[in-house]
Amino acid sequence: MAANGDNPMLSAHALTLLEKYNTIENVQSMAALANTLLNKNDSVINIYLATSLGPWVKVSSGIFLPILAKISQIYRGTAIYQEAVTSSLNGIEEKFQALLNNPILSKTTNGLIDSVLSSTIKNRNDGKMNSIFVNERVPNDARTNGLLIFSTTCSTCHGTAGEGIENIGPPLKGSQYVEGPSERLATIILNGLEGPVHVNGVLYKFNGSMPNFGNNYTDSQIEDMIKYLHNAFVSKPTDAINATKIKELRNKKPGTLTEKELSAMTYKIELKRK
């Protein structure tokens, strides 16, 4: 099973996909998988595990709250894990708090999770957004907006650090498709991409194809995504692109791209620049 393999990012991706199978029939299998993954002591897997258990908590809180409690205890001094755990509670923070206060389960105190839970409960009662999304917020700019899109849409296939995931998505870090002409990158995002594809001379085969995001995001959002990709994964992007240009590209090439089409597109772009 992919979720229990040796590749942490592949496990993380599988956990995300498994969320839609949160039925009572699958509870025991998922619980066994979660405990097996916890025993790997992998920080990447555990952060994804914490954030992916929300749908399962809705089906069986009695099974999955203790698993979240284990994650909370393992990372008792790390805020991001406590926030990830809290994000999976779906309004039953008090029940989780009572579980944590059970001396049989927890022999050590965890002031950090207590603080996050108390703040979350207060904000919920006051009708405010969960504190984990509003505390210490930095002002948004194009790169932070792009990061939000990348984290929710791209990272499960391309990795949180853009390193790629075997058989799922090629790397973005240092990729000529990210570093090269922004018009080409925008067209890939708008239309999707079917493999196999070479990235810096290495052939990457991936299952299925990258979906098109032209119907999911506005021109401005795609502009922000590209700005984030440039900032995060390449040293010297060749150019920038704005929402107006992206709007022009929307209907130029309908349908999923292939590497052959990308090569032809690159040739045309280079001719225009000469």
pTM above 0.85, yes or no: no
74-81 average pLDDT score: 79
DSSP three-state, residue 3:
helix
Which pairing describes strands 202-204 and 197-199: parallel, antiparallel, or unpaired? antiparallel
Per-residue pLDDT of 121-146, as tens digits, reads: 777 676 655 544 444 444 445 556 78
pLDDT in tens, 153-194: 787 778 878 888 877 888 998 899 998 889 999 999 998 888
Q: Please tell me the distance from the alpha carbon of residue 160 to that of residue 9, in angstroms, as a whole number.
A: 8
Give the residue with greater pLDDT, 10 vs 199: 199
pLDDT tens digits, one per residue of 202-261: 998 876 778 888 877 899 999 999 988 888 888 776 788 899 999 999 877 667 888 888
Under CATH, what is the fold of the domain 142-273? Answer: Cytochrome Bc1 Complex; Chain D, domain 2 (1.10.760)
Q: Where are the beta strands (DSSP E) in the chain?
A: 193-194, 197-199, 202-204, 209-210
Query: How far apart (Å, rounded) are the C-alpha atoms in residues 224 and 242?
Result: 9
- Report helix, strand or coil for 210: strand
Task: Give residue-wise pLDDT tens across range 44-77.
Answer: 788 788 888 999 999 999 999 999 999 988 888 7
Q: What's at 136, amino acid-wise?
A: E
Pairing of strands 202-204, 193-194: unpaired
Higher pLDDT, 25 or 136: 25
